Structure 1
């Protein structure tokens, strides 16, 4: 009988890809989330999808649901795909199953997730990071901007590229940092945007992929993923190896800017699965790497999220004159949502997006905020008491 693996955060496009890799490697993947996650549920190549309560809205029920799932499935590994990783890590420490979780402990996760702490970590490790200052009030924000010149400002706890580049005076005046909601001011680096994703076990990287994108949402999130040059991959790998010694076991991804001199600058870190997962194409080698049983290298295929390429990429070509580039991406790239004989994740993803859109309207949020509001973590204490049995 195949060993079972539980992937949480089934809403993420990366989750079915990880499940396909694990299945191809001979494991029995199961997925779970606190939303319907139709993109995974309607797939015939991912695995069964289970439900748990929101760790933000009902933490004690979330904990009870996880206990029941783990007792019933007895997975040898639990692999987070989204920001539920922070809640899972705290729960695993409190209840003694951290050895099953592909993620570091809460303290390391907080260091990687917080923009200022990650900058401090990079400085300590002598890794290239732009000058970064933390501000907790409006006067400090203005002082930092005046002193640093051209900057990027963003909340310490933020996601989806929620940054303001070269902010105007009126925008700065509208920002209200506080002790409980600090912001960072970071020296702006002008250059090519690159990302890398790594899977590490016991401080050793088992899978590594660097990628760029010519197709991004206004906030910066990519929806097409192209491999970078071998030289750039080789330049980034030592940086990832050094960070892996801090992460030790888990997945992490970094946003990087390459300046005109070819110098890479780390900007921020996501301690979870990201779009870099797609670079491995659902391979068995990547499934084994997730389990710490081997190493995986990405392939050379360009990939994209088809609905986003049509919804955002196609209209943008009118203003940019990039119609031929868009056609080339659509023709040569592979859709990460679907596989031959497994097309239902596409309508599933569209319905998931509609559901998040309706939630955003009800709550007066942006779509991106609605997509993580029920699982995100913004630095608040994760006291073990929150996991008390309901």
Structure 2
């Protein structure tokens, strides 16, 4: 029997460690958790925090079928709250009319979601609100690239991209000539600035930040995608997020990438309007579930000094020079022993034991789509701006 006040929750992208951790947090608070994925053996399927797993179509390649199946599961299992984790968020927002009114979709309207996801549109939104930005420009063709008036190095990346994929550091006068341009996914040129990088994670409802954490970029794949996380506080960043979220009346999970210059000025590089690794810094006693259900009466934050890592990622990449960010191998070994692994859990041991099995389907996608392991992990849950008719 469910506990009083508990909800039936559906969480997407069950292969993700974010989903695994969120499922554990929701289950520990008494909620009934169903997870879905387009692969058959996602790691969250093996967790005792989930009451059911359902294989569904790929949101990238079969978006209408995906949403119809989610709607069927919502009705059949009497789901109260649907929490999307990755870029299926945009697709669900676009096709939200497919879902019954009895279930709350934990996201914002499609226009808001898209303006945050699209890296150029996000910078435009900031500029329109008078929020300081780094210099930026949209690039749709080689002619646009050659016409840029940047006189300092700049980043060049697709407007719809994730996981720091395809990020070029370009020096004026030495422009790349092999960029592939898509009519639905242009590129953004953005000033490259040195400073201290931070990543945030917040859970918001109706323009209010109900849960929040922040971590510096430490161990990271190629210096960009974090695989170890230290919960810290930064009042300026929290104030920035609180103000911005209120302006948009945003509902959902959201992460921002910040850089702080030597004078303490903050600039926001990009936004991820979906789940990010910050969720893994919360413990069951923090009761972050109350932020999702709207029951929080104060800002929920992780315990000070919380340190987590994706042990699998640290083992594969963390020891490399590009990922250590200046740390020695001795420091890596020390930190590897000190950080808590987000997958290993003494109350939920099976996911850690089944990691190899869970990655069989990911490995298959490497061959199917001819991409690397990191790209294959997300490939069939990405959305690159292609319109989907309701």
Q: TM-score, normalised by structure 2?
A: 0.90
Q: What CA distance in whole angstroms lies between the structure 2 residues aligned with 1:143 and 1:83?
A: 32
Question: 2:175 matched to 1:174?
Answer: no
Deviations 1:145-182 (A, max 9, x none): x4342111101111111211235866611113353331
Question: 2:242 matched to 1:236?
Answer: no
Q: What CA distance in whole angstroms lies between the structure 2 residues aligned with 1:201 and 1:321?
A: 39
Change (3 A) 1:225 1:129: same
Deviations 1:19-64 (A, max 9, x none): 1221222211211111135311112234422221112222343233
Question: 2:314 matched to 1:314?
Answer: no
Bigger shift: residues 170-179 or 210-219? 170-179
- Residue 154 of structure 1: which of 141, 153, 157 is its match? 157
Counterpart in the other structure of 2:257? 255
Q: Give, in angstroms, the shift of residue 6 of structure 1.
A: 0.8
- Residue 12 of structure 1: which of 13, 16, 25 is its match? 16
Counterpart in the other structure of 1:272? 274
Counterpart in the other structure of 1:287? 289
Counterpart in the other structure of 1:67? 71
Question: 2:202 matched to 1:198?
Answer: yes
Q: What CA distance in whole angstroms lies between the structure 1 residues aligned with 2:325 and 2:308?
A: 23
Deviations 1:316-373 (A, max 9, x none): 4899661232123222211111211422222433433343233122322233332222
- Residue 118 of structure 2: which of 107, 114, 124 is its match? 114
How many residues are matched?
380
Deviations 1:71-125 (A, max 9, x none): 1111111001111111111222344549601111111111000011000111122
Bigger shift: residues 319-328 or 339-348? 319-328
Q: What CA distance in whole angstroms lies between the structure 1 residues aligned with 2:383 and 2:324?
A: 38
Q: What CA distance in whole angstroms lies between the structure 1 residues aligned with 2:354 and 2:242?
A: 37
Question: 2:371 matched to 1:370?
Answer: no
Q: Equivalences for 1:323-334 in 2 at 5 Å?
A: 323-334=329-340
Change (3 A) 1:318 1:248: closer
Unmatched 5+ stretches in structure 1:
385-390
Counterpart in the other structure of 1:344? 350
Greater length-normalized contact order (CA 8 Å, ≥ 6 residues apart)? 1
- Residue 127 of structure 1: which of 124, 131, 136 is its match? 131
Q: When you count helix as a share of all residues, which structure comes out higher?
A: 1
Q: Give, in angstroms, the shift of residue 128 of structure 1.
A: 3.0
Q: What CA distance in whole angstroms lies between the structure 1 residues aligned with 2:84 and 2:90?
A: 9
- 1:161 aligns to what SS in structure 2? coil
Unmatched 5+ stretches in structure 2:
none
Change (3 A) 1:156 1:219: farther
- Residue 221 of structure 2: which of 217, 221, 242 is its match? 217
Give every structure 1 segment of 4 or more consecutive aligned residues whose post-TM-superposition deviation is greater than 4 Å.
Answer: 167-171, 317-321
Change (3 A) 1:73 1:148: farther
- 1:377 aligns to what SS in structure 2? coil
Counterpart in the other structure of 2:366? 360
